[in-house]
Amino acid sequence: MVLCVSGPVSAADTVEFSGVVKKVISDSQKVAIQDPKTKKRFTLVVDAKTRLEGFKDFGDIKADDSVAGAYVVTAKGMYIATRLERK
């Protein structure tokens, strides 16, 4: 996971990441990602604006998929995926 952030992340900042899908929450279109090195875990919202690469659609994302991508943090603290790709 690449989280080289100095200072607080604002709503306009894009954060790059890589990790492993630990859980897919279908009813709310969320995926829980874990960095295999640090074991840190975070949950991303995948919406209609998320660019999926290597996945047909949200239903194609499975636990244990290796992924990379980018997200932004909303003013309410939600992590919204802007890009999610299968590695």
Domains defined for the chain, CATH in brackets: 14-86 (2.40.50.320)
What's the pTM value of the predicted model, to 2 decimals? 0.83
Separation between Cα atoms, residue 10 and residue 75, nearest integer Å: 8
pLDDT tens for 26-47 read 999 999 999 988 899 999 999 9
Residue 11: pLDDT above 80?
Answer: no
The pLDDT of residue 8 is above 80: no
* pLDDT band per the 50, 70, 90 thresholds, residue 4: very low
Instruction: Label residues 11-26 b or e (16+ Cβ within 10 Å = b).
Output: eeeebebbbbbeebee
